[in-house]
Amino acid sequence: MAVLTASDLRKGLKLEIDGEPYIIVDFEFSKPGKGQALYRCRLKNMITGSQFDRTYRSGDKFNSADLEEQEYQFLYKQDNSYHFMNTSNYEQIELSTDTVGDAVNFLTENLVVSILLFEGRPIGISLPNFVTLRVVQSDPGIKGDTAAGTTKPATLETGFVIQVPLFVEQDETLKIDTRTGTYVERVK
């Protein structure tokens, strides 16, 4: 585990405080006329999501968080748990709905995702930037309703509802941006 000093602090840095991983979501440096430099940080707990502000002085030391990211393949959902398989050693893990979070809207069988591990324990999931999903329900567009940018709701195979252009029909496959949850294009 690497030891960091206050001068190493920056937005996006992951540290371990009191045995839990935190990420710096906001950072401000100030050097008063006399005295030590001050580092004001907004920290977010990577497990619970709680945030707080803390100020550090230039001599403070920290441990970097022991985080590891591994590729896993989504296998199936059973009740309120999601089952994944490590793509390198074929070990399987089970994650709760809380750990998976909003990724449930885009998970389809065999999708490869990155799971963030803290001391060997899964704490989060990262999806690919784009996924392809099939439309299972979409009302037909109204003839003559051609105003620019007009959209309608469409339900995807995962149950997630997004806004799509009027020309999108049921059983079409769409490319979806997982970062924003928006329609990108139709897939042929």
Q: At a CB cut-off of 8 Å and minimum separation 6, what does 53 contact?
A: 40, 41, 42, 43
Domain positions in the chain:
3-64, 67-126, 130-187
Reading the block at residue 70, the tokens are 């591994």
Q: Measured between alpha carbons, how far is 53 from 62 in angstroms, rounded to an integer?
A: 16
**Above pLDDT 90, what percent of the chain?**
46
- Provide the pLDDT confidence category of residue 64 given band limits of 50, 70 and 90: confident
pTM above 0.85, yes or no: no
* pLDDT at residue 37 in the model: 87
User: Phi/psi at 102 (nearest 5 deg)?
Assistant: -70, -10
- Provide the pLDDT confidence category of residue 46 given band limits of 50, 70 and 90: confident
The structural architecture, per CATH, of the domain 67-126 is: Beta Barrel (2.40)
**Whole-Å CA distances, 116 to 20, 76, 81:** 14, 19, 17
Same fold, 3-64 and 130-187: no
Distance of CA 166 to the CA centre of its chain: 29
Taking 80 as the threshold, does the pLDDT of residue 95 lie above it? yes
Domain 130-187: which topology?
Answer: OB fold (Dihydrolipoamide Acetyltransferase, E2P) (2.40.50)
Average pLDDT of the chain? 89
3-64 belongs to which CATH class?
mainly beta
- Provide the pLDDT confidence category of residue 144 given band limits of 50, 70 and 90: low
Q: At a CB cut-off of 8 Å and minimum separation 6, what does 176 contact?
A: 106, 130, 131, 132, 133, 156, 162, 182, 183, 184
* pLDDT at residue 1 in the model: 63
